[in-house]
Amino acid sequence: MDKELIIRSSPEAVDFALLKDGKLVELHKEEDGNNFAVGDVFIAKIRKAVPGLNAAFVNVGYEKDAFLHYHDLGPKISSLLKFTKSVSTGKLKDFSLKNYPFEKDIDKDGKITDVLKSNQSILVQIVKEPISTKGPRISSELSIAGRYIVLVPFSDRISISQKIESKEEKERLKRLVRSITPQGFGVIVRTVAEGKKVAELDKDLQNLLSRWTAMCKKLHKAHHPTKVLGELNKASSILRDIFNDTFTGIHVDDEALHVQVKDYVQQIAPKKESIVKLHQSNVPIFEKFGIERQIKTAFGKTVSMAKGAYLVIEHTEALHVIDVNSGNRSNKSNSQEDTALEVNLISATEVARQLRLRDMGGIIVVDFIDLNTAEHRKKLYNHLRDEMKDDRAKHKILPPSKFGLIQITRQRVRPEMNIKTREENPNGINGEEVEAPIVLVQKITHDLEQIFKKDYKKVTLNTHPFIAAFLTKGFPSIRSKWFFEHKKWVKVQPRDAYTYLEYHFFDKNGKQIK
């Protein structure tokens, strides 16, 4: 399996596209001036505690106050508050926590007013970026993520990723990490640490401890609110979280960013440094790898899939609804049940991709085609779970209901990726919009496939001169590709009278093919 990361840089933003076998599965954007990224740590002030919500509103410098619930304080909040005050006033200059006396853990079901007061200084971390009308969601249970481990100050727990299945490996990692973790800190061991030696883990740990010390040094005389620990830049944080030995290429179109990415890969996986390449072609990097085309066709309300099937994706205030349709596909299966299962399995793969691609969160309801046998329903459920294994967002999938509905909850920590795929209609007025021309070409290709299945000997396509030129220009042209695939030549006839996105097919007798 080819796994590639394509990075496009511009003055306003950096775009990251993750491809699997050439297919777009994740799309991220780092915009210039995003000061509230997940993982950022702020020294902030409590605005007010609200007993009715058992939460506090905190001024982190955003236009709306951040929300801090009692359950997000962490059991060691008293120790953190005392430590923050001592460091901020300059009384404490040893940040190691080695001999720091911890306060008693707070009550699990206590009240926010017993712990926090207005105008109190507090260290908080962004766990959910500002979305729509809501300010950021924060936690005072701090953690600093590295390549192999996550460092948790004011803790003594060693936790191992549940995705590491071997009991012996879990015990080995626990033993190693316990031997190198300093007093006053806990550690969460990440999945990529599987099989790693103690030297690699210790190097990562020392790097995280250095970041903790650098953050603490900023607290003395810091203004409130101030960011005291920033997440890594997006390129490094994405590579830290998803990079593994299966990657076959990382392509960057900016020289400075290329050096930065290469240095980071050299640190975390020296043997893979050679896969980082600088894109120097005149063709834009997203065009070169076919990403622009995939963005146009994947973010609309209707998403086409193999064999004529398609999804319809609707968004409401409360949830997302995805409807599975079989379309006008040719039926080669033995029965209607087999056809339904085949379409559902194709759709489950695409649903898993769409959730990652759009970063859809909250409640998602998928209306699959009804399956009559329990065995087929179980097969669909297991297939969807397998397809979503690579999804880094926390999620839960319920088995199919009696009506064929599968409910999914998926955590969302950033605003949903929403890309406009419709364009202004060149023939319309009053701001009317139509699908992008690139989607039109996909529709024409799909219609042709259905026509060729009906064994038409000669087919003529009548379309607008612009579309006709697009289909026939260059080599191999789109029309040439149709010929190589179906061994039938399509005559393309430009028609001046047609609207921009209008097209019709005709047989050898000049009769329109419906």
* Per-residue pLDDT at 328: 62
Q: Is pLDDT at 185 greater than 90 in this prediction?
A: yes
Task: Report the run of H or E that residue 248 belongs to, with start and end.
Answer: strand 247-252
Average pLDDT for 231-245: 74
Q: How distant is the alpha carbon of residue 258 from its chain centre? A: 22
Tell which residue, 164, 281, 307, 144, has the closest CA to residue 210: 144
**Predicted structure pTM score:** 0.68
The better pLDDT of the pair 446, 382 is held by 382
3-34+232-283, what's its fold? Answer: Nucleotidyltransferase; domain 5 (3.30.420)
CA distance 337 to 80: 59
Please state whether 221 falls in left (phi above 0), alpha (psi between -120 and 50) or beta: left
Cα(46)–Cα(251) distance, rounded to whole angstroms? 44
Mean pLDDT over 59-88 rounds to: 91
How many helices and strands (H and E) does the chain possess?
12, 27
Half-sphere exposure of 274 (CA within 13 A, CB side): 1
Give every CB contact of residue 115 below 8 A, 6+ residues apart in sequence. Answer: 70, 73, 77, 78, 106
Q: How far apart are CA 334 and CA 22, in angstroms?
A: 32
Confidence of residue 416 (pLDDT cuts 50, 70, 90): low
Q: Which of helix, strand or coil describes residue 387?
A: helix
Query: Looking at residue 410, what is its pLDDT?
Result: 92
* Terminal Cα distance for the chain, rounded: 40
Looking at domain 40-229, its CATH class is mainly beta
Domain ranges of the chain: 3-34+232-283, 40-229, 300-410, 422-506
Instruction: Provide CB contacts within 8 A for 184, sequence distance 6+.
Output: 96, 97, 98, 100, 102, 153, 154, 156
Contact 11, 253 (CB under 8 A): no
Query: pLDDT tens digits for 63-74?
Result: 889 999 999 999
280: number of CA atoms within 13 Å, CB side? Answer: 5
Residues comprising the chain, all counted: 514
Separation of alpha carbons 299 and 436, rounded Å? 11
Tell me, which fold does domain 300-410 have in CATH?
Aminopeptidase (3.40.630)
Average pLDDT rounded to a whole number, residues 492-513: 85
Q: Which CATH class is domain 422-506?
A: alpha beta
pLDDT, mean of residues 208-221: 90
Q: What is the pLDDT of residues 240-298, one digit of tens each?
A: 777 777 888 999 998 888 888 888 888 778 888 899 999 988 888 998 898 888 887 77
| Sequential DSSP letters for 97-137 | -SSPPPPPPPPTT--GGGT--TT-EEEEEEEE--BTTB--E
CB-CB contact of 351 with 366 (8 Å)? yes
For every residue of 292-327, DSSP letters joined together read: HHHHHHHSSSEEE-GGG-EEEEEE-SSEEEEEEE--
